[in-house]
């Protein structure tokens, strides 16, 4: 019986779990005690059976007759995603996007510590953004090692993306990169890269709103 609970989670399932978590936390903050798989599925346009299949991979989901206990399920997802462990993050590029992310994304709630911000513009180096001081990107590799940074996000111009990615790799320790640039990165197989091209979300929105889906 335990077999299904201990196996690795697929990428799409893990992605959906993070989304379920945010919905659950909104329900928690509204004081709702239970939630149905239908309510969770509605938000993404997937099916209640997909939701149940995703949640079946967790320990102690708080499943009840017509749904789930919100608090128990929230804890189950947080545990499965390992949010109790702290992961140190660096933001490279402190322009508008980088500083918006530093200032507005609630990292600490989800086990992530913003441990470094880097830029190459003198006008911003030394200033505080998102509570920490912006450092010169020349010191990137040294600082990454010193602070045990394991994930990084690239908010630099596309022309600088590969060069920065190479430094992230050579520093050692960085295992994941969230790439907001238009540039596809070449990195060794043991580094996880996720491309986040904002324009995709807009294309999808235009498509569905034109279809009336």
Q: Which helix (H) or strand (E) holds 35?
A: strand 34-35
Which of 11, 138 has the CB closer to a copy of itself? 11
- Pairing state of beta strands 151-154 and 87-92? parallel
Nearest-approach distance from CB 178 to a copy of itself, in angstroms: 5
- Pairing state of beta strands 34-35 and 67-69? antiparallel
Nearest-approach distance from CB 30 to a copy of itself, in angstroms: 9
Nearest-approach distance from CB 108 to a copy of itself, in angstroms: 10
178 burial via Cβ count (<10 Å: 0-12, 13-18, 19+): middle
Nearest-approach distance from CB 65 to a copy of itself, in angstroms: 25
State phi, psi for 185 to the nearest 5 degrees: -95, 145
CA gap 147, 123 in Å, rounded: 24
Which of 37, 41 has the CB closer to a copy of itself? 41
Q: Show the tokens assigned to 19.
A: 């989304």
Residues that bind a copy of itself (CB under 8 A): 8, 11-12, 14-15, 18-19, 21-23, 26, 43-46, 81-83, 85, 87, 89, 95-97, 99-101, 103-107, 109-112, 150-151, 153, 175-178, 182, 184, 190, 192, 194-213
Which of 10, 138 has the CB closer to a copy of itself? 10
């Amino acid at each position: 019986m335990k077999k299904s609970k201990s196996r690795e989670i697929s990428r799409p399932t893990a992605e959906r779990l993070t989304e379920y978590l945010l919905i659950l936390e909104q329900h928690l903050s509204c004081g709702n005690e239970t939630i149905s798989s239908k309510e969770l599925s509605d938000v993404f346009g997937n099916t209640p059976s997909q939701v149940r299949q995703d949640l079946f991979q967790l320990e102690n989901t708080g499943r009840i007759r017509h749904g789930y206990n919100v608090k128990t399920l929230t804890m189950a997802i947080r545990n499965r995603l390992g949010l109790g462990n702290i992961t140190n993050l660096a933001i490279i590029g402190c322009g508008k996007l980088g500083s918006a992310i530093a200032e507005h994304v609630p990292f600490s709630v989800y086990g992530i510590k913003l441990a470094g911000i880097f830029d190459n513009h003198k006008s911003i180096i030394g200033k505080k953004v998102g509570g920490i001081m912006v450092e010169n990107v020349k010191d990137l590799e040294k600082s990454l090692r010193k602070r045990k940074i394991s994930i990084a996000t690239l908010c630099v111009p596309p022309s600088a993306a590969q060069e920065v990615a190479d430094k992230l790799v050579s520093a050692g320790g960085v295992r994941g990169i969230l790439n907001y640039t238009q540039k596809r990165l070449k990195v060794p197989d043991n580094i996880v890269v996720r491309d986040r091209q904002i324009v995709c979300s807009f294309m999808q929105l235009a498509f569905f709103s034109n279809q009336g889906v």
